[in-house]
Structure 1
């Protein structure tokens, strides 16, 4: 929801960052890789009780992930860049979940449910994007939903910082993911027939 509706407010900042990164010779795909490397370190920071660093690298990764798309649209978007971007996003999320699971094994069952709900929601999202004839600003149809990447980062941040109630927070995330999945499934039925 925030990715869709708040983007217009942060897009000017992302445009300036994209212009600067392009001016120093970086490509969108290079920034995607940088975002990935920074993002996967979040799981390690969680495991080693460096929770503030985990949140910092998670959000820096997310910001660069948004900027790489802006860079691609300013230059030449590539299909492989899209595949890398979407795939690396999931690995960053997996890293965060694994960091939490290894650091707080008592919550592993809830984190497994979260992983399952994310797989389900992303399957719907990607399948609708692949079969839909609609196109948006991105290289495929982007289905808005209650929980987009920014909401996921907010929930991960709360889970990392308030890990004393990790199981409860994870279950809240699961419910939000499932709501989003069924929201997207309903929209898919409407637009695809």
Structure 2
């Protein structure tokens, strides 16, 4: 819901930095993998008992996630690059809740399982919608220039990053926050499926 507004703020500086990295020979795929590595490091730091410290690699990973697209736009966008980017994003989104479950399985296990199920459902609705949009020739730049169709929803990347930051700052509230956020993920997926039904039923 907030991605299109966040993009208006973050894209100009990211594009400038992306052009500078591209001029130095940096590739978009390398930046994607660096971002993923930082995200997985954040999950590990959470699991080891330092959620607040995990904010450093977590936020750095999301900067890298924005930079890879900026580097690609400054050089050459490829279908594989977009594929690698979304795959890395989904792994990151699953790894952070997993870190909290590993941190305290007894306390966080049920809520973490619910949250990951909600992510799985929401991700499937997102990717399925992108396939339908591509099949019907739909395009959108509402969330920036992407390699696949980004359908909007109640929860998008901006909200998810804010949620992860909140979890790191308030780890004792992982369970209640995850039940709430997971429910909103389910709502987002259901609304997206209903939108697809309205548009693509023929």
* TM-score, L = length of structure 1: 0.94
Structure 1 residue 128: deviation in Å?
0.8
Separation of aligned partners in 1, 2:177 and 2:186: 14
SS at match of 1:145: coil
Q: Which residue of 2 aligns with 1:142?
A: 150
Q: Cα distance, 1:191 vs. partner?
A: 2.5
Contact kept, 8 Å, 2:43 with 2:99, in 1: the verdict is yes
Runs of 4+ in 1 over 6 A off after TM superposition: none
CA deviations on 1:136-166 (whole Å, 9 max, x unpaired) are: 3212111011111121111111122211121
1:98 corresponds in structure 2 to 98
Aligned twin of 1:33: 33
Gaps of 5+ in 1: none
2:176 aligned residue: 168
Comparing 45-54 with 110-119, which one deviates more in the overlay? 45-54
Structure 1: distance between partners of 2:179 and 2:173: 10
Give the CA deviation at 1:182: 1.6
Tell me which residue corresponds to 2:128.
127
How far did residue 6 of structure 1 move?
2.2
1:190 has 2:191 as partner: no
Unaligned 5+ segments in structure 2 are none
Give 1:190 deviation, angstroms. Answer: 2.6
Secondary structure of the 2:153 match is: coil
Cα offset, 1:4, TM superposition: 2.1
Say whether 1:67 aligns with 2:38.
Answer: no
> 2:74 & 2:28 partners in 1: Cα distance?
9
TM-score by length of 2: 0.90
User: Contact between 2:94 and 2:119, CA under 8 Å: does it hold in 1?
Assistant: no
User: Number of matched residues?
Assistant: 193
Q: Aligned partners of 2:172, 2:51: CA distance in 1, in Å?
A: 13
C-alpha contact (below 8 Å) 1:100/1:160 kept by paired residues? no
Contact 2:51 2:171 in 1 (8 A): no
